[in-house]
Structures are given as C-alpha cells and as structure tokens.
Amino acid sequence: MRISASNLGCVRGSREIFRNVNFNVASGQALAVLGPNGAGKSSLLRMVAGLLRIDSGGLGLEGGDDELTIPEQAHYLGHQDALKPALSVAENLGFWAGYLGNGRAGVTEALEAVGLGAIRDLPAGYLSAGQRRRLSIARLVSVPRPIWLLDEAAAALDQAAQGRLIDLMRRHLAGGGLILAATHAPLGLDAQELRLGAV
Amino acid sequence: MRLSELANPSHFNALTERVLPWLVVATMLAFALGLYQALFVAPDDYQQGATVKIMFIHVPSAWLGMMGWALMSASALGTLVWRHPLADVAMKTAAPIGAAFTLICLVTGALWGRPTWGTYWVWDARLTSVLILFLMYLGVIALWRTVEDPSRAARAAAVLTLVGAVNLPIIKFSVDWWNTLHQPASVLRLGGSTIYPTILVPLLIMAVAFTLLFVTLHLSAMRNELLRRRVRTLRLMRAAAANP
Amino acid sequence: MAALMALLRRDMRLAVRVGGGALMGVLFFLIVVAMVPFALGPDLALLARTGPAILWLGALLASLLALDRLFAADHEDGSLDLILMGRAPLELAVAAKALAHWLTTGLPLVIAVPLLGLFLNLSPTAIVAVALTLLVGTPALTCIGLVGAAIAVALRRGGLLVPVLVLPLAVPVLIFGVAASNAAVKGPMPFGTPFTVLVALTLFGVVLGPFAAAAALRHGLD
C-alpha cells in the first residue's frame, strides 16, 4: 500500500497555509510531519482523513482495498478524544470498535495494551487527560486499519505511556501499516521527514 | 446535639440509625390512627357522601408539598450562607419527596373532582398553584440531574430554590387573581364550608402522620445520598490511582 | 448493519443518561401546555376547542429542544470526525441518530398526550386523534430538524438558529397534524384526508431528511 501526495495546497479562510506539499509513504513506513505552530500540520492530516477539502493538488492511494476510500481505511487521532463522559471506558471503546470495525472483539486486549483494563467500568468523565489520550489510542488498536494519522499523539502522555505508544506504532508498521504523524518532538522511530512552514 | 455537630456524616449516620426505627413505628401508628379516624369516625358530607374523605389525603399532601419547598429553602440558605456540609444533601433529597406529595395532591384532587365537578381537571386557583409548584419541583430535580458534580449542582439548585421560594407567594397571588378574573360566579371550595371537630381531628392526625412519613423518608434518603457520594469519591480515587 | 446499531445504541444510552434526557422533553411539553391556560383563561370549552393545536405546538417546540445538540455534541468532542470516517454510509448514520432522537424525545411526547389532554379537557376522541397524528408527525419533525441541526453544526453561537431554520419547514406538518386532529373531533372533513397527507409528509421527510443532512454535514467541512 502506498499513499502519495502531489502539490497539495491548503487555503483556510482566504489565507494560504501551505502549497506544493509532496510525500510518498509505503507500507511499513512512517512520515513525521514537522513544523512550527500554524504551519498546517493538523490541516494536512485532516486532508488525508477526508475532513478538510483539498484546495489544490491530489492524494493517491495504491494498493489497499479498492472499494474503500482513504478515510475508510484510516484511523485519525486528533486533538480531541471523541469520548463521552457519561459512558464508561469500555462502553466508549466498544462503541468505536463496533462503529469503525468488526465489533467489540478487540476491546479487552486494546484496553490492556494501553493499561486501562483495570478501570474499564468507570465513567470516562473521571479520567485524567493522559488516560483519555490512552483510551483514544486504544481505539487504534481495537480496530485494524492500515493507515494511522496521528496529530500530536504523545501530548499529555507520561514517559511510560509514550514508550508504550512507540511500541504500538512499531508493531503497526511491522504489520504492514503506515503512519503519518504530526509532531513537535522526535517520533522515537525511523521516519521520513516532511517539514511544513518553510514555504 | 447541635446542628454543627451533625455536620459530620458519620455522626449523622450514627444518629439516624438509632432514630429511624422509632420513626418508622411512629409513622405507622399515626397512619393507623389517622385512617381509622378518617374512615370510621368522620362523618360523610351531606352532598358528596364518602367521597369527601379524599380530603384526608389531599389536604395533608398539599401541606407537605409546600413544607417540602420550605425545607429546601432553609437548606438552600444553609448551603449558600452557612455552608453546612449536609445542607445540600438535605436539599437534594427533599425535592423528590416533596414532588411526590405534590403529585399525590394533584392526583387525589383530580379523583375528587371527577364525581364532584364532572371533570378530572379544572383550572381553579388552588389546583393550578399546586400544579405550578409541581412543575418547579420537577425543574429542580432536572437541574440536579443535569450537573454531574454534586457541589456545583448544589449551588445552582440552592439559588433556584430560593428564587422559587420568593416567587411562590407571588405566583399564588397571581393565580388567585387570574382565577377571579375568569370565574366570577362559582367559587369552588375544596375543603367544605366549615371545619367541624369531627373532621378537624382526623385531618390533624393525618397531617402528623404524613409529616412523620416525610421525615422518615427524608432521613433515609439523606443516608442513601451520603453513600452515593462516598461511592463516587471512591471511584474518582480509583481512576486517579490507575496509572501503571 | 452492526455499525449503525452501535450508533443507535450509543445515542439512546446518552439520551437517557445525560441531563435528564427523554424526561426533559416531556417536562418541557408539560410546562408549555400548562402555560397556555394562563394566557387564554381557564375556560374549559375554549381549551378543549384549541387543545389539539396547543398540544401540537408544544410537541413541536419540545422536539426542537434536543435537536441542536444532535450534531453539536459530537462535533465538539471530535466524534463527528470519526463518524465521517466510518464505513457505513453517512446518510444511514444520520438516520440512525434521527431514530435515536425520535425514540428518546418524540415518542415520549406521544405517550404524554393522554395526560396533557386531561389538563386541556379534551374528549377521548380528541386525545386519540392527537396522539395518532403526533405519532405519525413527530418523525417528520425529527427529520426536518435534522437538516437544520446539520447546517448549524459548526456554528458555535447556534442558539436559536436551529429553531429559526426548522420552524418554517415544519409548517406543513403542523397544518396537517392539527387539521387531522380537528377533523376527527368536529368534522366536517373526514379524518383520513389530512391524515393521509400527514403520512405522506412524514415519508417524504424520513427519506429526504437524512440525505439533506448528510450533504449539509459534508459541505460543512472546512
């Protein structure tokens, strides 16, 4: 599987954020999207996720499932956690597993993988910021999709949790997945680099 | 035991544990006596027959509906002004009980109205005021349920309760005035024209019985609410501790 | 599809658990209906005559209550983004949310009609007629409201915007709902004539609403 972008441009509110962005990421590869705040890292990821209109240029997908679009084969981990405080940890994850994928089969292992198994019945409203982030990451683990779009995934995570995240990312790449990650800090694994804001 | 000593939940729990069984017995005795008096001693009305005896439930319920709001208002002051720790627990738990008595008043009023006026509901001043009181109870209960954090909910509910308490006389006055505007002719009186001792005594006994019931239910509800909050705190602690 | 059932289940769970849910809509309905006699006067004959109209207006306003949160809540916490990335068609996902809204808001209103009919001194025929027309009409109100909510989703200061958008669109449903109720009580028109039109409006709304709402959501993306 391969995702390629040619001459992507982004205009938001009549301000040009970036133009002529190119990248090429294949299975097993990671792309670190770097740049100062406001350079358009989040916008780029949202474009790939189908959540932002592409103003110029194009995205291409080779391989993968012919019947599905890029967003339908991707996980997006943005700044928000998409968690409902009134539902329990397990209910939140169970919903996303059911909606995005094949049902609630992978929920328990996913919770264990991020270390939230012990509090699966507590309301999500009781979680700290780091725990909420880990629950969102569990979503990526519970439903297999080849493309991971991570926007500052390590934000609010402590050292141990960051290490666990890097392990999960390595496992994903080893399994043939690909990752596009916007980040301020080094990713922690080998990745191509794409710098925005140098236009 | 002073009110400030009761502020500690474990003191409160210890006291109520001793007192509640006696209260339950007293309530049952009062109801037994009151119902006996109401059903067998009080005379039938010469027009309405035995139907008038609904009054023995209807009138005390109305009193307790209003007493409930008065109790909530006192607790609201305790919450906002004196910051008594159990005040908001008292306020929160009084609402459903007060609402229930108000509802009993409305339902018995409707059942009384059917044979007496031929319709389940009339917009007469008293029933209408009680209906508004009921809606205000439901509003306060809705407010408690909407805000998750009990202490934030408490302050909001306290303000609402006090505003409601100030408004209730105004509402009663307005509804009376509205009612006289539209129904100048027949003034329907629910309680009968004069109160004879044979009716007054059972009525007062039933009022005492209802009040004892309110207090019993209220104290039990406060114990439950304290337990509920303890569970919530424990769960919050558990969530915070789960960071391997 | 399992994905849509998951969405339906989640929305219903949230409606019941968060902020009073279904009962809040019924409470608002009750309050609005209780307000009317203060304005009109307690003349029971007048209330009985205007009863179907009062109930329909109350149900319309109560239905609108939960609508602007329909998409806004998901938009605010990022759930809407992920719903857009699901494999189920967006039209069906939107329809699932509409169904959850109707089951937790619209249907309880219908159930509350007999009680409120008592307050307005409605005859049993009138109560049944109003309940039946609301049963058929509230899905239409939900689906029309769906479109307004989808259009207004990204606007932070939505406020009264959704009702302003939705109420004019709901006029046909209101007209035929009240007409059918009155026809059942007084005649001379047979109940069936306006009722059939009401059913048609609902079918139209139930099919068109999700499509329009999905299109609005997609175009609302930045």
Q: Is A16 helix (H, G, I), strand (E, B) or coil?
A: strand
Among A137, A198, A193, A146, smallest CA distance to A27 is for A146
Alpha carbon of A115: minimum distance to chain B alpha carbons (Å): 7
Number of cross-chain residue pairs from B and C with Cβ atoms under 8 Å apart: 43
**C30–chain B Cβ distance below 8 A for any pair:** yes
Q: Is B175 within a domain?
A: yes
d(CA A3, CA A197): 22
Residue B146 tokens, joined: 């909407």
Alpha carbon of B33: minimum distance to chain A alpha carbons (Å): 47
Q: Is B8 within a domain?
A: no
Strands A2-12 and A15-26: antiparallel
Average pLDDT, stretch A31-52? 90
ipTM for the predicted complex comes to: 0.91
d(CA A72, CA A61): 12
Contact A3, A162 (CB under 8 A): no
Residue A185 tokens, joined: 């800090």
Cross-chain Cβ contact A160/B244 below 8 Å: yes
Query: Measuring CA to CA, how many Å separate B3 from each of A93, B77, C164?
Result: 47, 14, 52
Average pLDDT, stretch A9-30? 88
Cross-chain Cβ contact A85/B240 below 8 Å: no
Strands A56-62 and A2-12: antiparallel
Number of cross-chain residue pairs from A and C with Cβ atoms under 8 Å apart: 78
d(CA A178, CA A193): 14
Neighbours of chain A (3+ CB pairs under 8 A): B, C
Q: How confident is the model at residue C166 (pLDDT cuts 50, 70, 90)?
A: confident
- pTM of the entire structure? 0.86
CA-based nearest residue in chain A for residue C16: A86
Quote the pLDDT of residue C21.
Answer: 66
Chain A partners within 8 Å of B235 (Cβ): 122-123, 126
- Of chain A, the percentage scoring pLDDT greater than 90 comes to 58
Q: Is B162 within a domain?
A: yes
Quote the pLDDT of residue B1.
Answer: 46
Among B162, B161, B157, smallest CA distance to B143 is for B157
Higher pLDDT: C221 or B237? It is B237
If you search the block for the tokens 């658990």, which residue do you land on?
Answer: C17
**B149–chain A Cβ distance below 8 A for any pair:** no
Q: Is B31 within a domain?
A: no
Q: Which of A7-16, B54-63, B110-119, C123-132 has the lowest mean pLDDT?
A: B110-119
Q: Is A40 helix (H, G, I), strand (E, B) or coil?
A: coil
d(CA B50, CA B34): 16
Alpha carbon of C206: minimum distance to chain B alpha carbons (Å): 31
Q: Is B38 within a domain?
A: no
d(CA B76, CA B82): 9
Contact C90, C218 (CB under 8 A): yes
d(CA A43, CA C189): 59
Quote the pLDDT of residue B177.
Answer: 83
Radius of gyration for the alpha carbons in chain B, expressed in angstroms and rounded: 21
d(CA A140, CA A9): 28
Q: Is B67 within a domain?
A: yes
The pLDDT tens digits for A95-136 are: 999 999 877 778 999 999 998 988 999 999 999 999 999 999
Q: Is B88 helix (H, G, I), strand (E, B) or coil?
A: helix
Quote the pLDDT of residue A195.
Answer: 86
Alpha carbon of C202: minimum distance to chain B alpha carbons (Å): 31
Q: Is C114 exposed, middle or buried (0-12, 13-18, 19+ CB in 10 A)?
A: middle
Q: Who contacts C208 (Cβ-Cβ below 8 Å, separation ≥6)? A: C143
Quote the pLDDT of residue B2.
Answer: 57
Alpha carbon of C126: minimum distance to chain B alpha carbons (Å): 16
Query: Mean pLDDT in chain C?
Result: 89
Query: Measuring CA to CA, how many Å separate A4 from each of A44, A46, A59, A70, A181?
Result: 13, 15, 6, 11, 15
Residue C133's Cα: distance from chain center in Å? 12
Does position C143 have pLDDT exceeding 90, yes or no? yes
CA atoms within a 13 Å half-sphere pointing along the CA-CB vector of A154: 21
Reported in sequence order, the residue ranges of A79-162 that DSSP labels E, i.e. its strands, are 147-151
Q: How confident is the model at residue C128 (pLDDT cuts 50, 70, 90)?
A: very high
Quote the pLDDT of residue B214.
Answer: 95
The pLDDT tens digits for C79-114 are: 999 999 999 999 999 999 999 999 999 999 999 999
Quote the pLDDT of residue B244.
Answer: 56
Chain C partners within 8 Å of B132 (Cβ): 34
Query: Mean pLDDT in chain A?
Result: 90
The domain of B209 spans: 49-185+195-234
Average pLDDT, stretch A18-39? 90
Quote the pLDDT of residue C41.
Answer: 85
Q: Is B70 within a domain?
A: yes
Instruction: Give residues 65 to 104 of A whose Cβ lies within 8 Å of B.
Output: 85
d(CA A5, CA A57): 8
Query: Measuring CA to CA, how many Å separate A148 from each of A36, A49, A62, A176, C17?
Result: 22, 10, 16, 11, 32
- H/E stretch holding B178: helix B150-182
Chain C positions touching chain A (beta carbons under 8 Å) = 2-3, 5-7, 9-10, 13-14, 17-18, 76-79, 81-88, 221-222
Alpha carbon of C75: minimum distance to chain B alpha carbons (Å): 20
Q: Which of A1-5, B107-111, B123-127 has the lowest mean pLDDT?
A: B123-127
d(CA A188, CA A167): 9
Among A91, A132, A33, A74, smallest CA distance to C84 is for A74
Cross-chain Cβ contact B235/A127 below 8 Å: no
If you search the block for the tokens 């358009």, which residue do you land on?
Answer: A40
Q: Is A105 helix (H, G, I), strand (E, B) or coil?
A: helix
Residue C69's Cα: distance from chain center in Å? 13
Does position C19 have pLDDT exceeding 90, yes or no? no
Query: Mean pLDDT in chain B?
Result: 85
Cross-chain Cβ contact C6/A95 below 8 Å: yes
Instruction: Give residues 30 to 89 of A whose Cβ lies within 8 Å of C.
Output: 46, 49-53, 68, 71-72, 74, 76, 78-84, 86-87
Q: Which of A72-81, A86-95, B7-16, B48-57 has the lowest mean pLDDT?
A: B48-57
Domain count, chain B: 1
Work out whether the CA dihedral A81, A84, A87, A93 comes out positive or negative: negative
The pLDDT tens digits for B150-194 are: 888 899 999 999 999 988 888 888 888 887 776 543 444 444 445
Quote the pLDDT of residue B185.
Answer: 39
CA-based nearest residue in chain A for residue B147: A86
Contact B221, B214 (CB under 8 A): no
Chain C partners within 8 Å of B186 (Cβ): none
Q: Is B66 within a domain?
A: yes
Higher pLDDT: B191 or A40? It is A40
DSSP-assigned states of every residue in chain C: -HHHHHHHHHHHHHHHHSTTHHHHHHHHHHHHHHHHHHHH-S-HHHHHHHHHHHHHHHHHHHHHHHHHHHHHHHHHTTHHHHHHTSSS-HHHHHHHHHHHHIIIIIHHHHHHHHHHHHHTT--HHHHHHHHHHHHHHHHHHHHHHHHHHHHTTT-TT-TTHHHHHHHHHHHHHHHHHHHHHHHHHT-SS-THHHHHHHHHHHHHHHHHHHHHHHHHHHHT--
Does position C77 have pLDDT exceeding 70, yes or no? yes
d(CA B200, CA B16): 32
